[in-house]
Structure 1
Amino acid sequence: MTPIQRRVAAMLAASVSIAMVCVNVWVTAQLQQPSYTPLPFAPEDVAGTAFPVLGVLLVFQRPRLVIGWLLCLGGLFSALNSLTANLVLLNAIRKWAVAPEAIWTVAGVSWRLTILFLAVLLPLLYPDGRLPSPRWRPLLWGSAAVLAADVLVTDFMSLPGREGTSPLRFLLDMLTNTVMLLAFASLAARFRGAGPEERRQILWPLVAIATVILPWVFGNPVWWLASFTIPLVPIAITFSVLRYHLYGIDTLITRALVGAGLVGVIGGVYVAVGTASSLFLSDVDRIGGLIAALCAGAFFHPIRRVLQRGADRLLYGSKGDPVALAAELGRRLQRTDPAGGLAAALEVLRDGLAVTGTGVRFSGGRPKDATAGTLEEVARDIRLVWHGEPVGRLLIGPPGARHLPATHNERVIAALTPYVADAAHAVRLVGALQRSRERIVTTREEERRRLRRDLHDGLGQSLSGMAMSINMARHSLRVSPETAERMLGELRSGMDSVTSDIRHLVYGLRPPALDELGLAGAVAEMAGPGVTVEVRGEPTGLPAAIEVAAYRIAQEALTNTRKHAGATTVRLSLERGEDSLSIRVHDDGVGVPAEHRSGIGLASMRERAAELGGTCMITTPPEGGTMVEAVLPVNLNVEI
């Protein structure tokens, strides 16, 4: 059949079903009002309308999917069953010349076909139209055989003189109930091995079916309520096939569980307290009712919290409240060092999302990536930012095999991502501090080696040569004064070279301008005429390490501005605070790209500030350009 022919056939089946329902409503009006329902129609009439209509919608949207056809045919035979059963009753009143056995046979066959399509095939083939596995094929054929045998035995028993076969009828009824239970058990087996999306598809109709089963369990006094809940089943099936990913079934389940639990527990508390108070306060009815209401209200919030926690743990495997997760993470962070805080944050996030694993991939490859759980597959990749500075990427794995993907995932991620970013930044700081200390030790030893080599090979050799020249000039002074004069002149030139070498060594240790002009003057001289220098406070009396670090950071920032920024104006400011010294270099250039990797110059500025317990941030302000801001403490307590 072509898709158009399928749609036409589905519409024809739905039209016939609705027509039979309308006829059945007229037939029901001719009969005596049944005792089990106050409505002018039966639940089977609702099924004969709702299932085919929504089945047609599924056939139109997914013509090749068998689920829509099962809804159409199941609703059609449900309407036929209800109509034929009522026609038998009407025939008993009107005495039509129609054999009631034939009509009753049609009713029995249509009822077994309704069971086959809606209670056996639909759960077995839902949601993709295929069996969960080939192991379920015997159930498919066995259910068809049981229902066929039930029809034959029922029709045979309806004949006169065949009442003795009732044990066989009872056995077939038990087998019919068994195959229906096994068919619904296939949904549980499919749910266990399904992925997150298919689990949502299975849960929607299960919740709707529960609303039909409850009136059926209680029986005649409330069975008529199923007329209002039966349409929820095809609605849930259609919704789960077409639009299941738009809404969270887990939120509906948790709220239903919490609401039902509250009604049951609070009602029980109210009844219990009211009963007890009636025994002791029989003469004061109002006080007893007030006491019962107060006790029920006092138990409301504690019970709600317990039920909510239990429902969340049932669905998600951990607490579903982001506030509770944040509180738990805060407690863990207080008990761990900065290096272990990231592992604790990732573990709490993994439990809160009920995923296979979480991890952080640091930008630049340092430090090593951190992981909690198993992260073979990445379902989410979130950028981590700490105060405008990219820290790395948060990697989240797929949901675990036993848990439903929670609709509160976004709330949990939004609540815990800042903690993860802080912990990741702390790990980076710890790693940077360790590398900085190692680099300080290495640099110090290298500097000592360089000084030793320069003093020994350069200055030492030059002074030794000058001493030899002095001795030779003394011997030549009496014999050849001209030679002595020439040697003393060369000695004078050598002393100038030695002085230059000493000045170079000294400058490498500390810029002389700092001692000659102070920090403000040295920075102004180094900046040159094209840079606006602003000084607030008195940057005097600072530790030598602070002066050198501030000078070098400003020097490196200006060098980068001249090389890369393409700026027209540059402002450099020094601000002396009570406990800190701030250095800001702001230009109106091209700014720093978002994915820019720090080079040696930018890293050296951050390391110089970190060595002294300060900070250095390179950002792009809203007005554009680049801002280098370093804050250095002025009160150092350094142990070497």
Structure 2
Amino acid sequence: MTAHARIAWAVAGLTTLAGILDTVFTAAHRSLLSEATWADHGWPLAPLAAIGCALMGALIVTRHPRQPIGWLLCVAGLLAVTLAADAYSVWVLDGDGPGSPYWAHVSAWAAPLLGWPAFTALILVFLIAPDGRLPSSRWRWAAWVAVAGLCVHTLGTLTVRPGEFVVGGDLGNRAVSGPLLTLGVGLVAVGLIGSAVSIGWRLRNATDDARRQLLWIASSAAFLAFGVVVILVVPRLQGVEGTWLAGLPLRLALISVPLCVAVAVLRHRLLQIDLIVNRALVLALATGLVAVGYVLAVVVAGFEVGASSGFWPSLLATALVALAFQPLRRRVVMVADRLAFGAAAVPYEALADFSRRIGDSSDPSDLLPAVAEAAASAVGASRVVVRLQIDSGPDQVVVFPPAAESTTSGVELPVVDRGERLGSITVEMPAGHPLRRWQHRLLADLANQAVMAFHNARLTAELSGQVARLDRRTRELADSRRRLISAADAERSRVERAIAQQVVVHLAPLPDRLRRLSDSTQITPLAESLTSAIEALREITRGVFPAQLVRSGLPMALVSLLARTGSAERLVIHDSVAERRFDAQLEAAAYFCVAEVADPLGVHLEVRDDELRLRLTGQEVGSLSVDQMRDRVEAAAGSLSVVRDDGRAVIDVRLPVS
């Protein structure tokens, strides 16, 4: 545990101890179940709220040591120390508790010195929530006003003698402390109002997760404001000061503050707070309208006609209010949706935002994700599946959010253009949040706007499919060409072997036999002609497919080839090639490239950068079979280029050794 976490948990322990002491001091003075204990002192809800602030603050500091909200909640937890000091002072002064009355006054005097900083800390929490920063530099005034009010109030408390301070005593009539305390309370109230306005401003401009976080905090702030109003208004209506029922909402609101802030900062994704707020707003608005309508129907109308109150007039008023409220129900739901869900509840804003995104998107692959995200943000869906139907291939499916898993059955909206189904949009809503009628209309309009995006995405997919098919056919043609050349080389090799094994073997002994038969002038020319025919036949077999290329390799085969044409001195073989064997297809390609040049002026062979490089210098390009060379070279995954140099053709062949 870090030093920051140890300090925060120490404050939480001190707060818990103060809460226990507060319970002990209060129980020693009066019954814990008395109305005075609940109304005046706020036990047990006020100590629980302070302990909750300290615990939640320590939890936030443990997870995020530099988060100021955690430290402010720890300071707010010191309210428990204030309550314990108040309880001890009242016990000693009013209940004859142990201790000196002087120190009881000092204890009461020290209580607000801790209580007001705790309350100011809550104001600062509302100002910087949920990310620990002010909305902008323009809101610094609210923080400075609240801190200035705390300083002025603390100064006013310090001007009072500790021995004369009494819990709940009126200090406003003192010449010095009264104005300071009043001014301090006013400044802190202004800071509280500024914090409430800042939350509303943030909530208006927030989206997605930030909006959910702010909804938690704004809910606690609204509940706190409601508690303050109740505790001020109800006693005046009842004519009784300090009832426990009037203080109950405020005490519960204090407990909700640390819980809501901690959930917003730590685990804001766990619960659908926007749905809870929406239902609460609908209930509150409906209750308020019914109450106003009932008052108007019963009180005003009854006063005008002079009718006495009773069961039947009240029943009639209730029926009239129910009938009058029905036309307003849709308006109430729309207002609640707007407050809870923000821009997602306004169809035209959602559609306009979607149109802007589609217009700004230059990549066709972003169209379907944009449709899915727009549908999810428009209706607050937990998962959206967009399917694009492709006639010539598999359908394209996009899910938003990408990692979301299906938990409920969705509502499918087809995307149709002129009777042709292009795809569909399937929307899955959170549990307890079904699609409303206006949301159906919004999704239908969005599906209509998405027609062009679906067309573009389908065209892109079909073009990509065509490119893939052309690429596949190109590879198949290249493989087919390699197979044809390999088959031709195999056929040449077979013919060469057949001639050598079945023809030359019978013709080779005939010249010697003819010479032995007779030395006549008629036999000698015949033997010479037969010898020439045998040599020519051997040359033909070497041209069909050289057996030496298979036996000895490319360098020896080229030496033999050029030696027959008297061009052996023009062959340059680098050391990287000498006595090295290569792939059979590669050797055949290089050999026949040289063989296609009848009388090469220069042949250079080397291996460089994992490539077998062959440089041929010959006559003009028109006299060379460049196309046949290129077919062989490309079939071996190589490249061939031809340039002219001083009226000669220079052929550069590169074949990958690997």
TM-score in terms of structure 2 length? 0.49
Distance of 2:26 and 2:288 partners within structure 1: 37
Q: 1:155 maps to what in 2? A: 158
1:255 aligns with 2:279: yes
Once the two structures are TM-superposed, the CA of residue 305 in structure 1 deviates from its matched residue by: 1.4
| Greater Cα shift, 414-423 or 102-111 | 414-423
Distance of 2:149 and 2:160 partners within structure 1: 16
Q: 2:117 maps to what in 1? A: 113
Tell me if structure 2 keeps the 8 A contact 1:66–1:129. Answer: yes
TM-score in terms of structure 1 length? 0.51
Q: 1:359 maps to what in 2? A: 358
The structure-2 alpha-carbon separation of the partners of 1:426 and 1:11, relative to structure 1 and needing over 3 Å to count, comes to closer
The structure-2 alpha-carbon separation of the partners of 1:429 and 1:131, relative to structure 1 and needing over 3 Å to count, comes to closer
The structure-2 alpha-carbon separation of the partners of 1:61 and 1:225, relative to structure 1 and needing over 3 Å to count, comes to same
Within-5 A mapping of 1:29-68: 29-32=27-30, 33=34, 35=36, 37=38, 41=43, 43-68=45-70
1:293 aligns with 2:318: yes
Distance of 1:82 and 1:59 partners within structure 2: 24
Q: 2:224 maps to what in 1? A: 212
Which digits, 9 at most, give the CA deviation of each residue in 1:192-220, with x for residues without a partner?
66554223222211111211221212324
Distance of 2:258 and 2:151 partners within structure 1: 26
Give the letter aligned to residue 119 of structure 2. Answer: I
Equivalent of residue 13 in structure 1, options 5, 11, 14: 11
Once the two structures are TM-superposed, the CA of residue 15 in structure 1 deviates from its matched residue by: 1.9
Distance of 2:455 and 2:314 partners within structure 1: 63
Which digits, 9 at most, give the CA deviation of each residue in 1:232-258, with x for residues without a partner?
111111111122234333323332222
The structure-2 alpha-carbon separation of the partners of 1:174 and 1:356, relative to structure 1 and needing over 3 Å to count, comes to farther
What is the DSSP-based 3-state SS (H/G/I as helix, E as strand, rest coil) of the residue aligned with 1:244?
A: coil
Equivalent of residue 103 in structure 2, options 88, 99, 102: 99
Q: 1:264 maps to what in 2? A: 288
Tell me if structure 2 keeps the 8 A contact 1:361–1:394. Answer: no
1:202 aligns with 2:214: yes
The structure-2 alpha-carbon separation of the partners of 1:246 and 1:214, relative to structure 1 and needing over 3 Å to count, comes to same
Equivalent of residue 26 in structure 1, options 24, 27, 31: 24
Give the letter aligned to residue 359 of structure 1. Answer: I
1:309 aligns with 2:311: no
Give the letter aligned to residue 60 of structure 1. Answer: T
RMSD (Å), alpha carbons: 4.8
Within-5 A mapping of 1:375-454: 383-385=386-388
Gaps (5+ residues) in structure 2?
Answer: 165-170, 232-241, 402-428, 459-658
What is the DSSP-based 3-state SS (H/G/I as helix, E as strand, rest coil) of the residue aligned with 1:273?
A: helix
The structure-2 alpha-carbon separation of the partners of 1:396 and 1:62, relative to structure 1 and needing over 3 Å to count, comes to closer
Which digits, 9 at most, give the CA deviation of each residue in 1:494-552, with x for residues without a partner?
xxxxxxxxxxxxxxxxxxxxxxxxxxxxxxxxxxxxxxxxxxxxxxxxxxxxxxxxxxx
Once the two structures are TM-superposed, the CA of residue 90 in structure 1 deviates from its matched residue by: 1.4
Tell me if structure 2 keeps the 8 A contact 1:43–1:226. Answer: no
| Greater Cα shift, 143-152 or 84-93 | 143-152
Tell me if structure 1 keeps the 8 A contact 2:153–2:183. Answer: no
Equivalent of residue 242 in structure 1, options 266, 270, 273: 266
Within-5 A mapping of 1:490-569: none
Once the two structures are TM-superposed, the CA of residue 308 in structure 1 deviates from its matched residue by: 0.6
Q: 1:612 maps to what in 2? A: none
The structure-2 alpha-carbon separation of the partners of 1:146 and 1:300, relative to structure 1 and needing over 3 Å to count, comes to closer
Which digits, 9 at most, give the CA deviation of each residue in 1:437-495, with x for residues without a partner?
xxxxxxxxxxxxxxxxxxxxxxxxxxxxxxxxxxxxxxxxxxxxxxxxxxxxxxxxxxx
The structure-2 alpha-carbon separation of the partners of 1:365 and 1:111, relative to structure 1 and needing over 3 Å to count, comes to closer
| Greater Cα shift, 34-43 or 126-135 | 34-43
Once the two structures are TM-superposed, the CA of residue 17 in structure 1 deviates from its matched residue by: 0.9
Q: 1:223 maps to what in 2? A: 247
Distance of 1:196 and 1:259 partners within structure 2: 24
Tell me if structure 1 keeps the 8 A contact 2:298–2:313. Answer: yes
The structure-2 alpha-carbon separation of the partners of 1:7 and 1:206, relative to structure 1 and needing over 3 Å to count, comes to same
Tell me if structure 1 keeps the 8 A contact 2:344–2:350. Answer: no
Distance of 2:387 and 2:305 partners within structure 1: 64
Which digits, 9 at most, give the CA deviation of each residue in 1:589-621, with x for residues without a partner?
xxxxxxxxxxxxxxxxxxxxxxxxxxxxxxxxx
Tell me if structure 2 keeps the 8 A contact 1:382–1:394. Answer: yes
Once the two structures are TM-superposed, the CA of residue 223 in structure 1 deviates from its matched residue by: 1.8
Give the letter aligned to residue 228 of structure 1. Answer: L
Once the two structures are TM-superposed, the CA of residue 350 in structure 1 deviates from its matched residue by: 1.3
Once the two structures are TM-superposed, the CA of residue 358 in structure 1 deviates from its matched residue by: 5.0
Tell me if structure 2 keeps the 8 A contact 1:349–1:358. Answer: no
The structure-2 alpha-carbon separation of the partners of 1:284 and 1:56, relative to structure 1 and needing over 3 Å to count, comes to closer
Q: 2:130 maps to what in 1? A: 127
The structure-2 alpha-carbon separation of the partners of 1:387 and 1:22, relative to structure 1 and needing over 3 Å to count, comes to same
Once the two structures are TM-superposed, the CA of residue 383 in structure 1 deviates from its matched residue by: 3.2
Tell me if structure 2 keeps the 8 A contact 1:46–1:227. Answer: no
Give the letter aligned to residue 91 of structure 2. Answer: L
Once the two structures are TM-superposed, the CA of residue 163 in structure 1 deviates from its matched residue by: 1.8
Distance of 2:110 and 2:308 partners within structure 1: 64
Tell me if structure 1 keeps the 8 A contact 2:220–2:256. Answer: yes
Distance of 1:429 and 1:114 partners within structure 2: 60
Q: 1:487 maps to what in 2? A: none
How many equivalent pairs are there? 390
The structure-2 alpha-carbon separation of the partners of 1:205 and 1:191, relative to structure 1 and needing over 3 Å to count, comes to same
Once the two structures are TM-superposed, the CA of residue 78 in structure 1 deviates from its matched residue by: 0.3
Which digits, 9 at most, give the CA deviation of each residue in 1:348-371, with x for residues without a partner?
8516xx7674539999979x99x9
Structure with higher Rg: it is 2
Tell me if structure 2 keeps the 8 A contact 1:24–1:83. Answer: yes
Once the two structures are TM-superposed, the CA of residue 191 in structure 1 deviates from its matched residue by: 4.4
Give the letter aligned to residue 250 of structure 1. Answer: D
Within-5 A mapping of 1:313-328: 313-314=338-339, 320=345
Q: 1:560 maps to what in 2? A: none
Gaps (5+ residues) in structure 1?
Answer: 326-346, 398-405, 433-640
The structure-2 alpha-carbon separation of the partners of 1:388 and 1:423, relative to structure 1 and needing over 3 Å to count, comes to farther
Q: 1:167 maps to what in 2? A: 179
Tell me if structure 1 keeps the 8 A contact 2:343–2:349. Answer: no
Give the letter aligned to residue 334 of structure 2. Answer: R
Give the letter aligned to residue 44 of structure 1. Answer: A
Give the letter aligned to residue 281 of structure 2. Answer: L
